[in-house]
Chains A and B, each alone.
Chain A
Amino acid sequence: EAAVTQSPRNKVAVTGGKVTLSCNQTNNHNNMYWYRQDTGHGLRLIHYSYGAGSTEKGDIPDGYKASRPSQENFSLILELATPSQTSVYFCASGGTGQSSAETLYFGSGTRLTVL
Chain B
Amino acid sequence: GQQVQQSPASLVLQEGENAELQCNFSTSLNSMQWFYQRPGGSLVSLFYNPSGTKHSGRLTSTTVIKERRSSLHISSSQTTDSGTYLCALERSFNKLTFGAGTRLAVCP
Contact = CB atoms under 8 A, between A and B. Distances in A.
B45 A45 contact: no
Main SS at interface, chain B: strand
A101 B94 CA distance: 4
B99 A42 contact: yes
Contact of A100 (B30, B43, B45, B97): B30
Given A41-B100, A104-B33, A58 B4 contact: no
Interface string A27-58: 00001010100001111110010000000001
A101 B41 contact: no
Interface string A11-33: 00000000000000000000101
Given A108-B41, A109-B41, A101 B90 contact: yes
Interface stretch (A63-71, A74-82, A91-99): A91-99
Interface string B83-98: 0001010100111111
A107 interface: yes
A71 to B, nearest CB: 16
B36 to A, nearest CB: 11
Interface of B: 4, 30-31, 33, 35, 41-45, 48, 86, 88, 90, 93-101
Kindly list the 7 A-B residue pairs having the minimum CB-CB distance in the complex, ordered from nearest: A42-B98, A101-B90, A106-B43, A109-B41, A43-B98, A108-B42, A42-B100
